[in-house]
Amino acid sequence: EDQVTQSPEALRLQEGESSSLNCSYTVSGLRGLFWYRQDPGKGPEFLFTLYSAGEEKEKERLKATLTKKESFLHITAPKPEDSATYLCAVQESGGTSYGKLTFGQGTILTVHP
């Protein structure tokens, strides 16, 4: 059974204080790893897709990396508007996955001014 574990559960940063969020996963075969941002009361917003170990993606202050067992979401010089819950999800390879995602519990990020 696919498992996704995110850490820490909550992270408080000062504006400009860089840090990383972790997503550890266990799948028989990885088709893709996805990062989402979710604001309170809203649906998740897609950020990145990573497909293979060593791959990196960047968007503004966010950078996602992938190894064979985990992914990191690095946040450089965060601003208060980066405050949100960040969700990690994996999609298993194989003919019957149909694009189904298995999500972690999320990391609640709070950036103080």
Partner 1 sequence: SQTIHQWPATLVQPVGSPLSLECTVEGTSNPNLYWYRQAAGRGLQLLFYSVGIGQISSEVPQNLSASRPQDRQFILSSKKLLLSDSGFYLCAWSVREGTEAFFGQGTRLTVV
CB of 111 to partner 1, least distance (A): 20
Applying CB under 8 A, the span of 20-28, 52-60, 66-74, 101-109 interacting with partner 1 comes to 101-109
Q: Of these, 23, 106, 109, 111, which contacts partner 1 (CB under 8 A)?
A: 106
Question: Is residue 89 near partner 1 by the rule CB under 8 A?
Answer: yes
Residues 6+ apart with CB under 8 A from 1: none
Instruction: Determine the 3-state secondary structure of 68 from DSSP.
Output: coil
Q: Of these, 73, 87, 90, 111, which contacts partner 1 (CB under 8 A)?
A: 87
Among 84, 106, 110, smallest CA distance to 6 is for 106
CB of 70 to partner 1, least distance (A): 16
User: What are 7's strand-pairing partners?
Assistant: 22
User: Strand ranges (DSSP E) for the chain?
Assistant: 3-7, 10-14, 19-26, 30-38, 45-50, 56-59, 62-66, 70-75, 84-92, 102-103, 107-112
- Residues 21-80 binding partner 1 (CB under 8 A) are 31-32, 34, 36, 41-46, 49, 51
- Residues near partner 1 (CB under 8 A): 4, 31-32, 34, 36, 41-46, 49, 51, 87, 89, 91, 97-106
